[in-house]
Structure 1
Amino acid sequence: MSFFNKILASVGIGAVQVDTRLEKSAYYPGEDIRGVIHITGGNVEQNVDKIYIKLMTEYTRESNDKKYSESFTLAKIRASDKLIVQPGEKLEIPFEFPLPLETPLTLSRQPVWLRTGLDIENAIDPKDRDFIEVTPHPYAAVVFDAVSKLGFRFKEATCEYHSRLGRGIPFVQEIEFYPGREFAHRVKELELIMHLERDGLSVLVEVDRRGRGLSGWLEQSFDMNERHAWLTFDSSDLEKGADHIAGLLEELIDSKTR
């Protein structure tokens, strides 16, 4: 019977089971993720080479006028070394690691998940998948509040391939806003790309301004109507609050829509 149980376990029947349970479901970039990996032994003894956790997301890449979704590993954590799991044995392995600053926010159903896996020789590796919510870091929250104070409304967020702007990862998260009444006659759309740092935040602000007259038509025809610039806020800037940041953003938008 043991021989046949081993054969079945090698294809995942009666094998080790893994279940990752997180301390909570929502985190912001830079915050520590804590949880426990629960392992339950199957019908036979199995040797586990290692237990790992991958933090994963997706981004869109365009090729030959077609768009493709690609998965990307933001971080990989080794949760244990080799161990032997006995039949029916229950193990608990705690883990903790910081959510990378590059982790995209889960706006517009952007997926971010943990994939827990066990490396077992000559067998299908058991896996577990746990989606998490990624909320704005306190620095980013100040910028979002500032944008709202200027009357802009959230439109959508997308993760797009961009090797140059990605800063170590192959994509950026583009966050788009509709203008409110004050800017509606000048701005079609406001787009932000944020790069979170330990002591502040860099924001690429792109203003898609409305064309006016012949010059506006020419700008739209030649894709010249988008204006962009970098704003860098250190912690002292952000501690001054959303009103201060809104003033700086308004100055920039005004300068790009004259």
Structure 2
Amino acid sequence: MGFLKKMMAAIGVGNASVDAQVHHNAVRVGGQVTGVVVIRGGAIEQRIERINLGLATRYKTDDSYMTHQLSKEQVVPGFTLRPGEVREFPFSIAVPLNTPLSLPGTQVWLATDADIAGAVDPGDQDHLQILPSSEAETLIAAAQRLGFTLSGSEVEYHHGQIVQELAFRPPYGQYKIAEIEMMMFPSRGGLDVILEVDRRATGMASFFVSEFEQKGRWHLGAQTLAGGPDAVARELEVRIRALM
């Protein structure tokens, strides 16, 4: 009977279960995901080698989507789990600064990776709502103060890191552009911003050029951010018009 139970556990039947229970699903970039890992013993005694937690997302490639592990750390050390035993381990892991915001088409989840001797991985996934840092929230609010509307986002992989591009549509008739796109990178207490202006040609020019884009990089410092969305909106508008 013992041999049969071990064989069944190896294919996931009667195996230990691992459940990462998050205290709050909504977390800010740069904050902490807290909760408790609940481990329940199965039909046989098993050795828990380690349990890792981390954040993961997906990014777009030319023809598909790829899963990317944003972070990973051990939260439960090795121990022996008796049949039917229940153990709980509190955890707190950081939300990396490059974690994409939760917007339509973008998913971020807490990935549980369990290493249990002689068994399949019983890990699970818990989806999170990622909110912007205070700096990014101020910049987004500044764009909205100028009348821009957030129209979409896309997560990509560039130069060894995950980046998220936010697209905004301008208010009707105020800017001769189709949209602006921004990528934000935390830097020295502020933000490094790549601003891209997408302008479609109008009139006779449209026969020769359908659209073109111009990009600018600028550092949004802590002093300007301290002035709130109004101060950032003034600088943002200058940057947009310089690229038009």
TM over 0.5: yes
The separation in 2 between residues aligned to 1:18 and 1:198, in whole angstroms, is: 39
Q: What is the correspondence of 1:81-230 to structure 2 with a 5 Å cutoff? A: 81-163=77-159, 168-169=160-161, 171-184=162-175, 186-197=176-187, 199-215=189-205, 217-220=207-210, 225-230=212-217
1:33 maps onto 2:33 in alignment: yes
**Amino acid across the alignment from 2:31:** E
Structure-2 residue corresponding to 1:24: 24
The separation in 2 between residues aligned to 1:114 and 1:7, in whole angstroms, is: 30
Note closer, same or farther for the CA distance 1:216–1:246 as it changes in structure 2 (3 Å cut): farther
The separation in 2 between residues aligned to 1:102 and 1:26, in whole angstroms, is: 16
Over the matched positions of the two proteins, sequence identity in percent amounts to 34
Shift of 1:198: 5.6
Secondary structure at 2:4's aligned position in 1?
Answer: helix
* Structure 1: gaps of 5 or more residues: none
Note closer, same or farther for the CA distance 1:241–1:132 as it changes in structure 2 (3 Å cut): same
Secondary structure at 1:247's aligned position in 2?
Answer: helix
Is contact 1:101-1:197 (8 Å) kept? no
Shift of 1:154: 1.1
Structure-1 residue corresponding to 2:9: 9
* Structure 2: gaps of 5 or more residues: none
Give the ranges of 4+ consecutive aligned residues of structure 1 lying more than 2 Å apart after TM superposition.
Answer: 160-163, 181-184, 212-220
Structure-2 residue corresponding to 1:254: 241
Deviations 1:43-76 (A, max 9, x none): 11001111111310000011xxxx1100000000
Moved more, 206-215 or 80-89: 206-215
Shift of 1:208: 0.8
Shift of 1:205: 0.7
Secondary structure at 2:239's aligned position in 1?
Answer: helix
Shift of 1:255: 1.6
**Amino acid across the alignment from 1:195:** F
Is contact 1:108-1:158 (8 Å) kept? no
Deviations 1:140-175 (A, max 9, x none): 110011000111111111112322xxxx41x32111
Q: What is the correspondence of 1:46-57 to structure 2 with a 5 Å cutoff? A: 46-57=46-57
- What root-mean-square deviation, in Å, do the aligned CA atoms of Structure 1 and Structure 2 show? 1.5
Is contact 2:19-2:38 (8 Å) kept? yes
Note closer, same or farther for the CA distance 1:15–1:198 as it changes in structure 2 (3 Å cut): farther
Structure 1 residue corresponding to 2:69, chosen from 50, 70, 73: 73
The separation in 2 between residues aligned to 1:217 and 1:244, in whole angstroms, is: 39
Shift of 1:5: 1.2
Deviations 1:108-137 (A, max 9, x none): 131101111221223211111100000111
Shift of 1:213: 4.0
